[in-house]
Structure 1
Amino acid sequence: MSIAKLFRLPFSGNGVWLELQRQNFSIPFLAWAVVVPLSFLPPVLLYYAGTHYGDAFLAGFADKEWRFITTILFLAELLTFFVMGWLIRAVLEGDKLEISYQDSYLLAAVAPIPLWLSSLALLVPVLAVSVVAVAVGMFLSCALVYQGARSLCHRSDNDVVTMSATYTIMAASLLAWGILMAMVWAF
């Protein structure tokens, strides 16, 4: 699969998602090849920003225990993948949409990629850049969940049931993300 096709995932219908589905990636492969490497980005970049930018980035930013915070963040991201795979399947099945465990974990591995990549904005020591990058990442993650659910459950365009399921999944995802960010600021 080409990079151009991957960039179309948040905006495309069945074609690209079905091509990903045909790859038949196992859950352990998704965890080791996608989730673990990309889950390193936010903690490593947050550690870098916290130890190099200090209070110039945000008041109170320099006084944090970044080694502890980033380790907990990494472990929480890994746990979130497994919980989200289960949650995606439960929500879609609850809305009478059929999806396999493997496909629900495929969606759980692909959907947070924009949020993981948004952490690259921490290389720029300007808070506004990070805020914009996270907002764009959230939008793209929502689009990935909707397009992925619609395609992997073989639903037609503008399906209200799929939109409702996407809303539930994203609400839970944003709640989990908010808890992770609250943990960062609490320590």
Structure 2
Amino acid sequence: MNLSTILYLPFSRTAGWKELQQRQVSIPAVAWLVVVPLSLLPPIMLYYAGTHYGDEFIPGFADRPWRHITTILFLAELLTFFVMGWLIHSVVNGYGMSISYHDAYLLAALAPLPLWASSVVLAVPSLLLNVLAVLMALCISCSLIYHGLQGLCQQRDDDMAAMSATYTIMAAGVLAWGLLMAIVWAY
């Protein structure tokens, strides 16, 4: 699979999804090769921003225990992956579509990729730029889930069920993301 195919995943129900499905990479391999390394990116970038920009970024930003916050954030991200895989499987099968646990966890690993990548923008001490990057990443993540459900589910003809399942999954995902951000700000 080449990079252009991966970049089309959020915008097409056909480009790359079947190829990913046929590879049958194990869930532990997906966790170790995709989730663990890429979920390290937000804590590392947040630690960098917190220790280098301080109050220049947001007032009171420098006074936080960043080592503890970023460790908790990393562990919470890993837990979220496992919960979201189970949730995707349950929600999709509840809407009358059919998805295997393998494909549900594959989608749970791919969906947060834009959000993880958006953390690179923390290298720039601009709150507005960071908020815009996260909002754009959230939109791409929603699209990844929608097209992923269309591409990975055995019953793909019902766009309304895929859209409803996407809304439910994204509502849970945004709630989980909100809890992760609350951990960062409340600690």
Unmatched 5+ residue regions in structure 1? none
TM-score with structure 2 length normalisation? Answer: 0.98
What is the CA deviation profile of residues 49-72 of structure 1, one whole-angstrom value per residue up to 9, with x for unaligned ones? Answer: 000000000011001010000000
Distance 1:134 1:101 in 2: 28
Alpha carbons 2:8, 2:15 under 8 Å: kept? no
CA distance in 1, matches of 2:48, 2:150: 38
Match of 1:136, as an amino acid?
Answer: M
* Aligned-partner Cα distance in 2 for 1:3–1:87: 28
Q: Deviations over 1:99-144 (max 9, x none)?
A: 1000000000001000000000001111111111100110000000
Question: Normalising by the residue count of structure 1, what TM-score does the alignment of the two structures yield?
Answer: 0.98
Q: What is the correspondence of 1:1-187 to structure 2 with a 5 Å cutoff? A: 1-154=1-154, 155-156=156-157, 159-187=159-187
Q: How far, CA to CA, are the matches of 1:109 and 1:84 in structure 2?
A: 9
Tell me the distance in 2 between the aligned counterparts of 1:129 and 1:15.
30
4+ residue segments displaced more than 3 Å: none
2:179, 2:101 → 1: CA distance? 25
Q: Structure 2: where are the runs of 5+ without partners?
A: none
Counterpart residue type for residue 172 of structure 2: A
Question: 1:40 & 1:26 partners in 2: Cα distance?
Answer: 21
Amino acid at match of 1:40: L
- Name the aligned partner's letter for residue 146 of structure 2: Y
Instruction: Tell whether the 8 Å contact from 2:5 to 2:15 is kept in structure 1 after alignment.
Output: no
How far apart, in 2, do the equivalents of 1:146 and 1:50 lie?
34
